[in-house]
Amino acid sequence: MLRYLVHLLMLSLLWLCMPGCGQAQGDGAVRWLQQPILGGHEVEQGQFLEVVMITVATPDGFISMCSGTLISPRVVLTAAHCVDFQGLKADHVVVKFGESRTSSESIKAMDFRIHPDWNSHSLINDMALVRLERDAPAEAIPVPYLPASMKLTQDDVGTSLLFVGFGVNSWGSDGIKLWMETPLDIVCTRPYGCSYAKTNTICIKQEGTGICSGDSGGPALMERDGVQYVVGVNSYTAEGCQWFGCGTKVDEFQDFIEEYLGAADGTDCDTDEQCASMHCADGVCCAQDCDGSCQACNLPGMKGTCSDVADGTPCPDGNLCNGQEICTGGICQKAQVMVCDDEISCTKNLCDPKTGCVYKPDSLSCFDDDPCTRDLCDGQQGCAHEAMPDGTPCDLNATCIQGKCEYPPEESSGCGCTSSSGPAGVPALLLLLSVLGRQSS
């Protein structure tokens, strides 16, 4: 997005414009530059998938386009001016993975952060980071950024840089991913800049090859010790994309990048947001989301990487009634359904999903119809019949005595008569009848 012009004092005053201009200005100071990477080559399918297209629907309804580089599964490095629109919301920023606008997989941004010292007038600190709402496609392998410990110096001038970007071919056309190589010309860290180079920038000469519109935010890549790093973020060129092109020197911004990225894999964490990978599992930052209960990210020697747990490790589903599941070959295997039976006739055999088998005593099943016993269900022995305390009522005018229902002696006949016997054991009633008979004769 070529939104800004600067004056650089060389032999004469030059108009400068950022190579990604996405918005026309009413004063005519900024105009569209519709060339792609100058002298660039089309990428092959699947090549440079880490270099992405960034489209922005600005609050005033304009569509802007830039480039960027995936530096972690969810974070893209780009230029500040690519997302520097007042009132811009994260969900209006879309990152596309592919060779062109039409052959891309799109992922919306979750948030973005512009460098706090970005200055749209002086064009210094032109850097921003965009966080995706989900992981990038697995084929897009993040590129590491050059750390401060490996910073570019004057000794690197002349080293070949690889540039990749989505320069727009013409107004209204789709951006096509192109690449080109050219040597590093300037490494500037002076507080007040170096000729046309701003402080903390790197620059290349542009004579028929170079960066241009739509390449803003894209990477300058360099190999160190066999590893390819992002060493620059495309920022601005001279007018017409001629003479020179410059980008933000990445190694000077390690603290800003690391603070946004989050902790490295294997670092202790509590939330996903603390991790560069956006995955906190088993208390550590994990390279990817652990899939299933038979994987862990904190195993000895594998901290930070999802790995299969040992066979036989429990993998409970929260329901004990369907048996104890265990891991086998990284897969949670179902177990036999739990059978609850204590072989005690007076208990109800139940199963609680959280606690397992429950045996509930049912004393009613032990009822023996004896009013002088207390009928209980013992969870270990089964039915038990305890004698009721002596004196417990058991019938009309009867009480329990030593576990048996007894009537008082004077009421045993049921007629109010004494129950005692006459001479020689003759019942009192027979004796009385005999006496009455003798008296009548």
- Measured distance CA(73)–CA(95) in Å, rounded: 13
pLDDT at 440 over 70: no
pLDDT at 419 over 80: no
Bridge partners of residue 172, in order along the sequence: none
Instruction: Count the Cβ atoms, other than its own, within 10 Å of residue 233.
Output: 29
pLDDT grade for 212, boundaries at 50, 70 and 90: confident
Strand-pair category, 331-333 with 160-165: unpaired
Closest to 71 (Cα-Cα) out of 281, 250, 271, 284 = 250
What per-residue confidence (pLDDT) applies to 169? Answer: 55
- Measured distance CA(51)–CA(366) in Å, rounded: 79
Residue 110: both structure tokens together: 């979750």
Residue found by looking up tokens 């789709």 in the block: 174
More confident residue, 273 or 217: 217
- Measured distance CA(112)–CA(91) in Å, rounded: 10
Which distant-in-sequence residues (6+ apart) come within 8 Å of 83 by Cβ?
A: 54, 56, 93, 112, 114, 128, 130
What per-residue confidence (pLDDT) applies to 220? Answer: 97
pLDDT at 13 over 80: no
Residue ranges, comma separated, of all CATH 2.40.10.10 domains in the chain are 5-253
> Among the CATH numbers 2.170.150.20, 2.40.10.10, 1.10.3720.10, 3.90.1150.10, which is that of 5-253?
2.40.10.10
The values of phi and psi at residue 399, to 5°, are -135, 160
pLDDT at 94 over 90: yes
Bridge partners of residue 69, in order along the sequence: 51, 77
On average, the pLDDT of the chain sits at 81
What per-residue confidence (pLDDT) applies to 209? Answer: 82
Q: Stretch 281-303: mean pLDDT, rounded?
A: 88
pLDDT grade for 426, boundaries at 50, 70 and 90: very low
What per-residue confidence (pLDDT) applies to 36? Answer: 66
**Chain segment 332-386, per-residue pLDDT in tens:** 988 778 888 988 989 999 999 888 899 999 988 898 888 999 989 988 889 988 8
| pTM more than 0.75 | no
Residue 119: both structure tokens together: 């200055």
Bridge partners of residue 194, in order along the sequence: 197
The values of phi and psi at residue 362, to 5°, are -125, 90
